[in-house]
């Protein structure tokens, strides 16, 4: 199950259909709320969250209708119960219910194919939250928002938040030594415009070994013209 933390200042919900072909009997569990599978802290400031999903499909089956439910408990639809015919590969829907901060919500989706066969429900969750840091309204930004310096030998970690402000692009978050040697890649994914992502570093390199004490550089790279670097200190 994928959990996403979202800050929704205006409180409405927007849903984006990602694929138009779906198998009518079973579907993938790769559903997500603004971001990628495995990143459980995605905070939005300035727009609504985007829900997306991937379905397995058989040739000859078309996704005809999509049904989405959002509730305050598993299987509930007290927040939003929506169904509509899917005509294009990217389609937007907007809900009207204002969500409560710091609250866990449940959402699920199922589709009907052009033969009237209905898939099973596929479910996930997201949680409204607030951001502990404020990123600047530039092209992109990255900040160390918790525990710097930190001691990985004592089980500590540091949290890094990053954001692309003006466009969606594949983002890379990497840790380097002060001499420019790559230590580990922390994130590599498509970052949606305006979404605030976070990733933890446990002070280990790509081989899983705790790095030596000292200063390290955390770099956010996106495209050919976006690069932001911050410093983080490891102590023992």
DSSP 109-127: EEEEETTS-BPPPEEEEEE
What is the full per-residue pLDDT of the chain (236 aa) written as tens digits?
333 333 333 333 434 333 222 322 333 344 555 544 444 455 554 445 666 665 555 556 666 788 888 888 998 988 888 887 765 555 555 566 667 767 788 888 888 877 788 888 888 887 775 555 555 556 788 888 777 889 999 999 998 888 887 778 889 999 999 888 999 999 998 888 877 788 899 999 999 999 999 999 999 998 887 888 899 999 98
Within this chain, do residues 12 and 120 fall inside the same structural domain, yes or no?
Answer: yes
Range of the domain at 54: 3-128
Same domain flag for 7 and 122? yes
- Asked if the bond preceding 42 is cis, omega within 30° of 0, the reply is no
User: Could you say which DSSP state residue 152 is in?
Assistant: G
What is this structure's pTM?
A: 0.51
Report the domain count for the chain.
2
Edge-to-edge strand list for the sheet holding 226-234: 182-191, 169-177, 214-222, 226-234
Query: Same domain for 99 and 150?
Result: no
CATH number at residue 79: 2.60.40.10
């Amino acid at each position: 199950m994928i959990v996403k933390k979202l800050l929704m200042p205006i409180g409405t919900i927007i849903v984006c259909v990602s694929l138009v072909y779906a198998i009518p009997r079973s579907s993938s569990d790769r559903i997500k709320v603004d971001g990628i599978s495995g990143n459980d802290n995605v905070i939005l400031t300035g727009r609504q969250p985007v829900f997306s999903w991937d379905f397995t499909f058989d040739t000859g089956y078309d996704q005809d209708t999509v049904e989405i439910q959002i509730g305050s408990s598993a299987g509930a639809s007290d927040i939003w119960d929506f169904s509509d015919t899917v005509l294009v590969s990217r389609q937007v829907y907007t809900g009207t219910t204002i969500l409560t901060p710091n609250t866990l919500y449940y959402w699920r989706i199922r589709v009907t194919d052009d033969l009237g066969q209905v898939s099973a429900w596929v479910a996930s969750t997201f949680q409204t939250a607030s951001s502990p840091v404020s990123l600047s309204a530039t092209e992109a930004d990255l900040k160390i928002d918790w525990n710097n310096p930190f001691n990985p030998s004592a089980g500590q970690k540091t949290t890094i938040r990053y954001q692309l402000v003006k466009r969606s692009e594949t983002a890379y978050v990497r840790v380097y030594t002060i001499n420019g040697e790559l230590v580990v890649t922390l994130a590599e994914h498509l970052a949606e415009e305006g979404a605030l992502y976070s990733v933890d570093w446990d002070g280990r390199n790509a081989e899983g070994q705790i790095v030596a004490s000292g200063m390290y550089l955390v770099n956010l790279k996106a495209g050919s013209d976006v690069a932001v670097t911050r410093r983080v200190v490891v102590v023992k």
